[in-house]
Amino acid sequence: MRPVTTLLLTSLALSACADNAATLAPQSNNDIRASEITDGLHHPWSLAFVSDSEWLVTERRGTLRRIVDGDLQDNAVTGVPQVVASGQGGLMDMAPHPDFADNQRLYLSYAKPCGDGGGTTAVGYGIYKDGALSAFQDVYVAEASCTNTAKHFGGRILFDNEGFLFLTIGDRGQRDRAQDTSDPAGSVVRLHDDGRIPEDNPLAGQQGKAGEIWSWGHRNPQGLALHPQTGKPWLNEHGPRGGDEINAPEPGINYGWPVITYGREYYGPSIGDTEKKGYAQPLLHWTPSIAPSGMAFVTSNRYPDWQGDIVNGALKLTHLNKVSFDGKTATREVRLLQDRGERIRDVRQGPDGYLYLLTDSSNGKLLRLAPAE
């Protein structure tokens, strides 16, 4: 195992109102140790724990890496599908099947080659064992979302407690597609583990509709986590210049992009209204943007004061973002790790109860957070 380095961190507390994120003076210091487990990861995207001793990390360029007993292995996992590693596309998220211990199915989301040099969001699985992925097969390919743009693939995947598979798909940089329910771009989709469309999906069986869609009007969701009490998915998503959001996507609900948004065009003017009848408001928005990616609910007793809080990676503002909620009302925001200045791509709670983070760079790191002694 590589030598462990630690850094003492402090927090900055902010208010988290749904219609305005006003800054507050720092309220408290939360002393946290960030220990480096390994570096040497090339733009890592997702972390999964396939056993207590073996962890896997996706790299956006299309490689799947093993960490065994804390050591990064030299050889990448074989059998990974070909990806479009361009712009924001590549090998993205990863999720072991709920029955992984029995069936060894490892699900991957990725930018799949399509059309004339284009790419689209896809998810599939292979059988994982001892550093090899075999018999990989797609279960869902967003065929209608094929485009040559290299933006906004979404790509987060999640199994809920009933075994349904959720996948986020971005608007592919073509914003109006998020309002077109014949097209899965800009949506959350819900599937059976073999890719079949559940009959109780809100648009299932409707002529001219993409029956896999669960909710729509999303720009580019890159964080997805299961609420520990309700068992429902929550997500974070990128806005443009401002207007990043946290939402709890409900079936058949339109979350507004680009008709309503708290974000603005990168060159200045507003894009749409901030609210309008028929479109759901976010539970929280960040303006200016933090560029959220990766999300986890804290349930571990390793962090007794954080129970039920959401932790989000922040790429643009380079910190770990922690938000407290009372039901669906955001009550407090804390920003951690700001002194490190690192883009945080993924956040996971490990089998040992600690939080683990991936930093996004050509020499990315895996970090473990622990309360200071």
CB distance 218 to 224 below 8 Å: no
Mean predicted confidence (pLDDT) in 92-105: 98
More confident residue, 143 or 358: 358
Q: What is the pairing mode between strands 244-247 and 284-286?
A: antiparallel
Task: Assess whether pLDDT exceeds 70 at residue 23.
Answer: no
Residue 251: C-alpha distances to residues 188, 233, 278 (Å): 9, 11, 14
The string of pLDDT tens digits covering residues 100-129 is 999 999 999 999 999 888 999 999 999 999
CB-based contacts of 316: which residues, under 8 Å, 6+ apart?
Answer: 289, 290, 291, 343
pTM: 0.93
83: helix, strand or coil: coil
The string of pLDDT tens digits covering residues 42-79 is 999 999 999 999 999 999 999 999 999 999 999 999 99
Other beta carbons within 10 Å of 273:
12
Instruction: Give the whole-angstrom CA distance, residue 265 versus residue 152.
Output: 16
DSSP-assigned letters across all residues of 36-65: EEEEEESSEEEEEESSSSEEEEEETTTEEE
Mean predicted confidence (pLDDT) in 168-182: 97
Task: Assess whether pLDDT exceeds 60 at residue 275.
Answer: yes
Mean predicted confidence (pLDDT) in 342-368: 98
Helix or strand run (H / E) with residue 160? none
CB distance 43 to 364 below 8 Å: yes
Mean predicted confidence (pLDDT) in 151-178: 97
Residue 341: C-alpha distances to residues 14, 291, 317, 338, 359 (Å): 19, 14, 8, 6, 10
The b/e string for 29-40 (b: 16+ C-beta within 10 A; e otherwise) is ebebbbbbbbee
Q: What's the confidence (pLDDT) of residue 371?
A: 80
Nearest CA-CA partner of 187 in 169, 167, 165: 169
| Confidence band of 368 (pLDDT split at 50, 70, 90) | very high
In terms of C-beta density within 10 A (0-12 exposed, 13-18 middle, 19 or more buried), how is residue 58 classed?
buried
| Confidence band of 373 (pLDDT split at 50, 70, 90) | low
Mean predicted confidence (pLDDT) in 193-202: 98
First to last CA, the chain: 22
Q: What's the confidence (pLDDT) of residue 242?
A: 95
Q: What's the confidence (pLDDT) of residue 99?
A: 98
The string of pLDDT tens digits covering residues 205-251 is 999 999 999 999 999 999 999 999 999 999 999 999 999 999 999 99
Q: Which residues belong to the active site?
A: 152
Q: What's the confidence (pLDDT) of residue 145?
A: 79
Nearest CA-CA partner of 34 in 290, 315, 306, 344: 344
Task: Assess whether pLDDT exceeds 80 at residue 184.
Answer: yes
Q: What's the confidence (pLDDT) of residue 2?
A: 40
Average pLDDT, the chain: 91
Task: Assess whether pLDDT exceeds 80 at residue 288.
Answer: yes
Enumerate domains of the chain plus CATH numbers. 8-371 (2.120.10.30)
Instruction: Give the whole-angstrom CA distance, residue 88 versus residue 256.
Output: 23
DSSP-assigned letters across all residues of 88-100: T-SEEEEEE-TTH
Instruction: Give the whole-angstrom CA distance, residue 261 versus residue 168.
Output: 19
